[in-house]
Amino acid sequence: MNAIALQAPRLRIRGPALRRALIAGARRVIADRDVLNKINVFPVPDGDTGSNLAFTLGSVLTGALSRRTAGAGELMRRVGEDAIDGARGNSGAILAQFFTGVAESIGNRAAIEPGIMARAIRAGSLSARQALAEPREGTILSVISAFADSFDPDRRVDDLRGWFAPALEKARRALAYTPQQLPVLKSAGVVDAGAQGFVDLLEGIGDYLSNGQIDAETLETESEADLEAAQAHQEVIDADPAHRWCSECLLLGEGLDRAGLRAAVSDLGASCVVVAGSHSRIRLHAHVADPQALFDIAARFGRVESTKADDMRAQARTAAGGSSVAIITDSSADLPEGIAEQLNIHVVPLRLNFGDQDYLDKIGLTPAEFYRKLREEIVLPRTSQPSPGDFRRQFEFLLSHHPSLVYLGVARAVSGTIQSAETAAQRGHPDRTFIFDSANAAGGLALLTIAAAEAAQRGDDAASIVALVERLRSQTLTWAVTRDLTLAVRGGRIPAWGKPLVQGLGLTPIAKVTPIGKLSLVGALMGKKNVPERFARYVARRVQAGQRYRVIVGHCDAPADGELLLSRLKSSIDCQDAWLAETGPAVGAHAGPGALVISLQPVIAP
């Protein structure tokens, strides 16, 4: 018998075992997400690194890792694609690029020898570093590099646990060193959150290699580092309004130019730029002043999908502490300027499009820009509800900093937005998430949201807040007047014969939100002159005398008429608070430019 015959067969990593190891690692990160959120201070203290990593790995768990596969190479290719598609935040995009680099190095191999895996991990580390426009040490990159560099591709391996354990230990030491590399971490007394998340992933894999168990133990939900870390870095956000929006999109195509895209985004003046992906699928992440400008640049390189933009100022306010109940609404609420910041209200944007171009309502496209396009474009705009994923991402973040949240949504009778929120809640924490159908929109939804946010600031619990807005719902009234029915006819809101009839009679129609949230014609003004003044008198005659009200007047690109209408209402009705707001596409897409909206809510004792 020759010497070759006496050698033991080489150890190989096969698809089923690799899948189970990755499941264990992903579950460990998801279990630790609240701790990661609390120690998140770099690059900004927005307290969402844990949620972002959980969403990134959640996409992998429900995608590639939910299906059995025979080949390790095919598995890693799917893992990389799912991670890129679901990547959230800086660390999520970097982790996704690491997986993609590993997958590209492995290729189509059905089984992987440890030496090949070692080279693939090193390739993934390099790929992750190259994804960043400005790599920083002391972050997840440093820990990935330490982990990758610990493997010797030429070493013969007979024991996977003995092969993996030293690399994990080196990653732990690199994690502990991150405060020495980034002063903001040392000042806050924490390690880098993204780096900790990567070590969590490795520890979950290590546990599987040791005992073969997939399910990770429930981890501690508290950490020695508390939210003072966020407060210590708050001035960074306040001093840098040019990078307020944490923005992302998915870019699809063939032969995508990652280097060209990175250069174009850098020319925009963006920070925290990550361009992660392959020649056919790229996840773009950047902090910018104008999310739509970023998406427009991306559209020059491929097809843009899955846009999102998070307000890091709002996230920092939440991470820094406050009320026990988070309040969130959607962008169909016409919140007066500054109110969301004052009352710490979070907003999930609706999505709208003109033809093939998609926008995030009031973020990617302001109301003023929307009405300009409405006048210029031939294509009728369409609004669509946020996806359950849009809600789930926001809910997960808020619930990592608050015991509970209350979402107040546009009327179920006119939109599927409430249903999307309910789906997200059921997949997350239904016991801590309260979904409220406002049966309203525009200023009416805004007034209910303001009342809820004020109650939260007073310290009311979620059940009490829901009881309050239920009392106010039927008393919160909204009317709208429009001078032109063209869009309402084109959108199918009224029959085609309605427009010539109204025009022939010289009427200005008035609609009112019904108790279930639909707009219904209830009257009209004769003629087109002095509409603001006469609309104010019409509404004043239909409210309770002697009652104090809060009022929001919304205008569809008609600020002068809005100011006049508000002034007339204040002289006709006892107003405790009165605001002027821009009415967005949820109403404007059907009412058209020049429309006016009045929403009133009686002042009641809390």
Q: What is the pLDDT of residues 176-199, one digit of tens each?
A: 999 999 999 999 999 999 999 999
What does the pLDDT average to over 223-232? 29
In whole angstroms, how far apart are CA 113 and each of 13, 54, 229, 369, 591?
6, 29, 43, 56, 64
Q: What is the pLDDT of residues 550-602, one digit of tens each?
A: 999 999 999 999 999 999 999 999 999 999 999 988 788 777 888 999 999 99
Q: Which two tokens stand for residue 592?
A: 């058209």
360 contacts 307 by C-beta, under 8 angstroms: yes
- pLDDT for 11 equals 84
pLDDT at position 24 over 90: yes
Q: Which two tokens stand for residue 123?
A: 């390739």
What does the pLDDT average to over 101-109? 94
State the pTM of this model.
0.73
| Three-state secondary structure call for residue 347 | strand
Q: Which H or E run contains 508?
A: strand 507-513
- Pairing type for strands 13-14 and 433-437 reads unpaired
At residue 504 the predicted structure's pLDDT band, cuts being 50, 70 and 90, is low
Distance of CA 399 to the CA centre of its chain: 14
The more confident residue out of 321 and 573 is 573
Q: Between vectors from CA 37 to CA 409 and to CA 32, what angle results, nearest 5°? A: 105
Give me the sheet containing 245-252, strands edge to edge: 271-277, 281-288, 245-252, 303-311
- pLDDT for 366 equals 82
Among 25-29, 260-264, 370-374, the least confident range:
370-374
Distance of CA 378 to the CA centre of its chain: 30
- pLDDT for 218 equals 29
pLDDT at position 548 over 60: yes
439 contacts 432 by C-beta, under 8 angstroms: no
pLDDT at position 309 over 60: yes
Nearest to 44 by CA among 143, 153, 184, 166: 184
Distance of CA 218 to the CA centre of its chain: 26
- State the span(s) of the chain assigned CATH 1.25.40.340: 8-216
The per-type count for the chain, helices as H runs and strands as E runs, is 27, 19
| Cβ-proximal residues to 567 (8 Å cutoff; 6+ apart), any chain | none
Locate all alpha helices (DSSP H) within 107-251, ordered by sequence.
Answer: 114-130, 140-149, 160-181, 183-188, 193-211, 228-232, 234-238
Q: Which two tokens stand for residue 335?
A: 């919140």
- pLDDT for 224 equals 28
The Cα 82–Cα 77 span in angstroms is: 9
In whole angstroms, how far apart are CA 412 and each of 88, 329, 415, 522?
29, 13, 5, 21
Among 112-126, 238-252, 409-423, 505-519, the least confident range:
238-252
Gyration radius from the chain CA atoms:
27
What does the pLDDT average to over 444-473? 97
Locate all alpha helices (DSSP H) within 233-360, ordered by sequence.
Answer: 234-238, 258-267, 291-299, 312-319, 339-343
Dihedral pair phi/psi, residue 567, rounded to 5° = -60, -45
358 contacts 304 by C-beta, under 8 angstroms: yes
The Cα 414–Cα 221 span in angstroms is: 40
Give me the sheet containing 433-437, strands edge to edge: 345-348, 325-330, 404-409, 433-437
Q: Percentage of the chain surpassing pLDDT 70?
A: 88
What does the pLDDT average to over 141-154? 95
- State the span(s) of the chain assigned CATH 3.30.1180.10: 477-602
| Cβ-proximal residues to 328 (8 Å cutoff; 6+ apart), any chain | 345, 346, 347, 348, 394, 395, 398, 405, 406, 407, 408
Output DSSP code: residue 426: H
- pLDDT for 51 equals 85
Would you say domain 477-602 falls under CATH 3.30.420.10?
Answer: no
Residue 477 exposure: Cα atoms within 13 Å on the Cβ side: 13
| Domain boundaries 8-216, CATH class | mainly alpha
Q: Percentage of the chain surpassing pLDDT 90?
A: 50
In whole angstroms, how far apart are CA 556 and each of 349, 518, 523, 582, 585?
18, 19, 20, 6, 9
Altogether, the residues listed in the chain come to a count of: 606
What does the pLDDT average to over 394-414? 91
What does the pLDDT average to over 138-152? 96
- Pairing type for strands 357-360 and 351-354 reads antiparallel
Which residue type does 445 have? L
Sign of the Cα torsion 84, 88, 94, 95 reads negative
At residue 219 the predicted structure's pLDDT band, cuts being 50, 70 and 90, is very low
At residue 223 the predicted structure's pLDDT band, cuts being 50, 70 and 90, is very low
pLDDT at position 545 over 50: yes
